[in-house]
Structure 1
Amino acid sequence: MSVHVRVVGTGLIGTSLGIALCRAGFRVTLSDPSPTAARLARDLGAGEIADASTDDPDLVVVAAPPDVAADVVVESLGRWPEAVVTDVASVKGSVAHAVRDGGGDLARYVGSHPMAGRERSGAGAARGDLFDGRAWVVVPTGTSRPDAVGLVRQAATAVGAAVSVMGAAEHDAAVAVVSHVPQVAASLVAGRLRDVSDPAVALAGQGLRDVTRIAGSDPRLWTQILAGNAAAVRDVLTALRADLDEVIGALDQLADGDSRGALEVVNRTVGHGNVGVARIPGKHGAAPTAYETVVVVVPDTPGALGRLFTEMGEAGVNLEDLHLEHGLGQPFGLAEVAVVPGAVEKLLAALEARGWRVHD
């Protein structure tokens, strides 16, 4: 008999999870305070809408907003006394404490957090491959049953995620650095654009796009996330403020014509960034690999980018990463194609022979 999973909350994560679990052979039923949202999730292939005949889940996944997740977990533990209950909120300590304080059965509760998402929210943005290759942290309480932890791991693994196990405090400190502070930083940088002139914004290149990509996220959701992990995020931002103050002091010196010691601060700051970037996991979660970039001028016409990929494959060169930057006021884009260093000369020769404008 297949595992029956009840997904409570059919937004982006809940609907994506339902689609992925259905594809993996799980039996999925759906519930949401909004009947329209639940019906949309059903129509997208995330499962069937729950009714009285389906009130026997093995696993309940609470995909509710962070500020109500604990209440829904406690309610679910009480409603289904045989079921394992997990939640997918991006903060874990505050949820676990609230579940305990609310009288929830911590033996059947296992927190979890899929490190996946999109700038868009809601069921309409759901994808069945949202969790493929993404980290999924399973966060047991001190009294979670081993079989309960195993069931949550089984579901996360089934949807293609890379599962790890952490304690709540370790998890919250980690996501403050790798997820929550980057959101704040992107929002702050993007916020500086509000009063910049149109001609100045028109100069924006790929660097600004990279830094601000996640600044389009849902403000209401992120207000809840940051409130739930306030202490850990505050600690990281406080350290970041100290670094920023040091850079500002160095720039004050340089603006006044005094470079003594200031250039070292600037150089060290950028250098530390290099070290940090090098620690970010590379392809398939392996150690980072140093790639070379070949820039290809791609006409802004249907099929041009696909032709580039096809001809790279015909040349026997694997695409490792890609950034696409549109030319300012021009009918072409710049495809920054990342390849292993040994393939650069081969790729340049092959593309030039096929008429592409390229440079390394």
Structure 2
Amino acid sequence: MKSAQSLTLSILLLAFTTNLPLIFSEAPEEIKDSKGVPISPSGKYYILQFNGGPTSGGGLFLASNGNSTCQVTVMQDYYEGDHGVAVKFSTAGRSSGAIFSGTQLDIACDHRPSCASSSKWVVVSDDFPGKWLGIGGAGDHPGKKVITGTFNIQKYNGGYKFVFCLSTSTCYDIATKDDGETGRRLYSFPTTFSRVPEQVLDSQSSSTSSAEKYYILPFYSGPTGGGVAAGKTGNSTCDATVLQTSDESNRGHAVKCSRGGRKGGIFTGTPLDIEFVDKPSCASSSKWVVVSDNFPEKWVGIGGARDYPGKKIRHGTFNIQKFDAGYKLVFCATTRTCYDIGRHDDENGRRLVLTNKPFEFASYYAPTRDYD
């Protein structure tokens, strides 16, 4: 079986003609090259593995594969010492300025083979096990299907990754797969975004609804802790931090999920307002928000700006996604800049925080009698 590995990107400056000021943006963020300089549509760049080494491979190049006699397939070189061919990034209507994570991009190789109509990247579908990256247009790939969509770049671990999106909710990571011929093809596979929204089910496999109340508990019960609740942290005298309780027998506080005033089922990927059923008297509301301060990670609280003097409330929406056997919570600052919600140990439990280690949960129906 041919191996597949995630392509984490380090962008190496080839030619950079515009000096740009640093812009400190929370989300989305400026994409920077390997020297820490923001990249620009006016520059040319090599694409290399973030963690280089004898097994990571080298830069990108164009090759002919299968029955093609033209170099229209984007490949990664096996040899880590080869920088490959440079690429250029362009955004609609702009020839200069910074490029940010999540920005829709056209990507093109700096070199165009004479047999190809263009060097612009496209995604191609045929009998290869995975949709793969090529260049040109439909005429360069006879008998194959060119998929319509847009590319963007996202932060990934310590580097970056390419993402290809068919729509705002259907996206694919770009990885590498040995093709058994000349190198590793760049191909696409689904990210954590659900391709088709599915109804979120509770622990009894019943459809969840915005009209009902639920407890949020770990998918696997045991010493990993109990349910999600509002509690005190730091110097706060109000139960305004969303925590996972440390006692696995504690179900926590029930929540309700609403869809912008609409009633009905809750689906994966749907923007949600999440709030506790019971509001602490010291808080302006029980609605979940994301807070930024001197805590190591951005964390989930309740209320509004006046509940957090001297701290910053992050704008965005929550949603629920499938994750392994259960679900995970996701916070999206934009339609393309999203963060998993995980846990960080704190003095009174585990804070819910924005992280790359999701908290796998199940929702348990909260009977009405719990609130009589």
Q: Give the TM-score taking structure 1 as reference length.
A: 0.28
Q: Give the TM-score taking structure 2 as reference length.
A: 0.27
More strand by share: 2
More helix by share: 1
